[in-house]
Structure 1
Amino acid sequence: MSTASPGTSPPSAGYRSVFRDGLFAGQVVIVTGGGSGLGRCTAHELASLGATLALVGRNEDKLLAVQHELSADHPHAGGHRIFPCDIRNEQQVRDTIASIVRDLGRIDGLFNCAGGQFPARLEKISLNGWDAVVRNNLHGTFLMSRECYTQWMQDHGGAIVNMLADIWGGMPGMGHSGAARAGVWNFTETAACEWGHAGVRVNAVAPGWIASAGMDSYDEHYQALLRSLKRKVPLQRFGTESELAGAAVFLLSEASAFINGTVIRVDGGVPNARHSFPLPAAGRTIEYNGFPRYQPPTGLQEQTR
């Protein structure tokens, strides 16, 4: 009998990781935004490698669904817990980290995956809209990182991975998110310097156009724009959730023990494309997708008449 949670399809096979078995055995890793999209996929990747997950997010139902998935797909890890929390609220974050330390006994890694934004030109963004995005993407990353450091990592070491975006050269159409992510970039470099002495490494991943379920939240006009974007990628395709998760997990792992203050771009080479060079159509495409529960967003499918 399948143990998949309602609304999800059971996996046809286990998560196909590129890392060695048991890489995170005995370790506790926090994933914010763990109830959907990139956070969900990364949680599965980590659980397949033996980690115990602390899933943090605002939507308890989504966290519960992923918790059930992890227990069904990766029973050898087990002990995964959910911690509903608004990462923009300082006291909630402080209490959540204290609960994780109390309930799970340690914190070895933190993936600050939670975030959110909406498409809008700068002149159309209200102060409330700007503040909501910056508080979520920047303030939440800072609060989670600070509390993990002060409550555990400064005495035991650990790894933090933050979420950026393809902010190079600006982020027209999402200036609030671009400003926040640029702040996360600088915070990452600063924390890497200030906390390195304690054995705490702080790095970041910067996804480009990843075909994640979150893209279906945009309206049809913006989805039409998104569908056209893969022709601006030198690899001529969108990325998968597994490709982003693999980069984040590498930075959380012992393999990156001398990597600190670095950003890994997972964008297919978009910043390297130039208007003076027409990108050829793809002659072949090779992608990595190890997540059997992965469902590409329907909004990115080419429309037919």
Structure 2
Amino acid sequence: MSPAAPPAASPDAPGTTARYRSVFRPGLFAGQTIWVTGGGSGIGRCVAHELAALGAQVLISGRSEDKLQRVAAEIEADGGRCAWRAFDIRDEEAVKANVGAALAALGPITGLVNNAGGQFPAPLLAISKRGFDAVVANNLTGGFLMMRELFTQCLQQHGGAVVNMTADFRNGMPGMGHSGAARAGMSNLTMTAAVEWAHAGVRVNAVAPGWIASSGMDTYGGAMKALIPQLKNHVPMRRMGLEAEVSAAIVFLLSPAAGFITGVTLQIDGAASLHTPLIPPLPVERSTAFDGFHRAVTPEVLR
């Protein structure tokens, strides 16, 4: 593990003229180290940038060294601090070893954003056991291993906060039943950990994003790719969410202001999960997005 060297800045590079426009006070996480899994792209990348902009030493992890190096270079070019570790959160021994090595290198870690995950679209009848197991391992088992190991090796002694990533599973997840099952499991696991770990001063919450304009949308093809630009029409706010809007919720849950909040799953979906065809859609008069991420890139599928 080592942070990548920042690239030479060009006059029009995002980091040379702009900084993350967080709504939280500068230095909020100064002196703290916070781990973001899946920090090499999408929402995880955005969260890592905001935490670094607020003074945290950020540790990002994932399976792709190239992606992690690029994000670490971005953060350092913007004046932040970022280390990275490449490993598979589904591998229990790798999780144990990397948590131990990270603590030895960086000292106590006060926060974990359990963001890593992934899935593929398929109806239930087309999902094999291998495919089902892989998605559950990505979105539930790996997150469990990360939070358990970090609690055992650090948080139990020092306290801290965990924010888990789920998704909008409230009405089932037709077309992605494996992911829906895993995400619902993570929400339930969040409640259990909140109770079992409260004595140690560890808060555990989750966020459930709906349709967010993030790089993950570009991983889909076929019918799903054609559907993505139409998703905003099924949101009462008539737009998709932005990465920065998810990041802001995560940062709040990590912050001292959420000191009496634990065991909750916060929906971030523009009321999409509450939408009903019984109520005709109304023209949207105003819907202002919070676009705080200065390095955000619109997914290709939405351009």
TM-score of the superposed pair, with normalisation by structure 2: 0.95
Pairwise CA distance, 1:38: 0.3
Pairwise CA distance, 1:97: 0.5
Q: Distance in 2 between matches of 1:205 and 1:60?
A: 26
User: What residue identity is the alignment partner of 2:32?
Assistant: Q
Within-5 A mapping of 1:21-100: 21-73=26-78, 75=79, 77-78=80-81, 80-100=82-102
SS in structure 2 of the partner of residue 110 of structure 1: strand
Q: Distance in 2 between matches of 1:300 and 1:220?
A: 15
Within-5 A mapping of 1:181-200: 181-200=183-202
- Does structure 2 conserve the Cα–Cα contact (< 8 Å) formed by 1:206 and 1:263? yes
User: Moved runs in structure 1, 4+ residues, more than 3 A?
Assistant: 2-6
**CA-to-partner distance for each residue in 1:240-270, whole Å, 9 max, x for gaps?**
0000000011101111000000111110011
Q: Distance in 2 between matches of 1:49 and 1:4?
A: 23
Q: Distance in 2 between matches of 1:106 and 1:40?
A: 22
- Does structure 2 conserve the Cα–Cα contact (< 8 Å) formed by 1:161 and 1:202? yes
Give the equivalent residue in structure 2 for 1:10.
14
Give the equivalent residue in structure 1 for 2:253.
251
Q: Distance in 2 between matches of 1:192 and 1:258?
A: 11
* Count of residues in correspondence between the two structures: 296
Pairwise CA distance, 1:221: 2.0
Partner residue of 1:158 out of 150, 157, 160: 160
Pairwise CA distance, 1:10: 2.8
SS in structure 2 of the partner of residue 41 of structure 1: helix
Pairwise CA distance, 1:9: 4.9
Q: Distance in 2 between matches of 1:277 and 1:263?
A: 26
**CA-to-partner distance for each residue in 1:264-286, whole Å, 9 max, x for gaps?**
11100112211100112322220
Give the equivalent residue in structure 1 for 2:24.
19
Give the equivalent residue in structure 2 for 1:102.
104
Structure 1, unaligned runs of 5 or more: none
Q: Distance in 1 between matches of 2:175 and 2:64?
A: 27
**CA-to-partner distance for each residue in 1:198-240, whole Å, 9 max, x for gaps?**
0000000000000001101100421221211111111100000
Give the equivalent residue in structure 1 for 2:169.
167
SS in structure 1 of the partner of residue 116 of structure 2: coil
Within-5 A mapping of 1:143-154: 143-154=145-156
Give the equivalent residue in structure 1 for 2:231.
229
Identical pairs, percent: 54
User: What residue identity is the alignment partner of 2:35?
Assistant: I
Partner residue of 2:130 out of 128, 137, 140: 128
**CA RMSD, 1 decimal:** 1.5
SS in structure 2 of the partner of residue 246 of structure 1: helix
Structure 2, unaligned runs of 5 or more: 1-5
Q: Distance in 2 between matches of 1:272 and 1:135?
A: 29
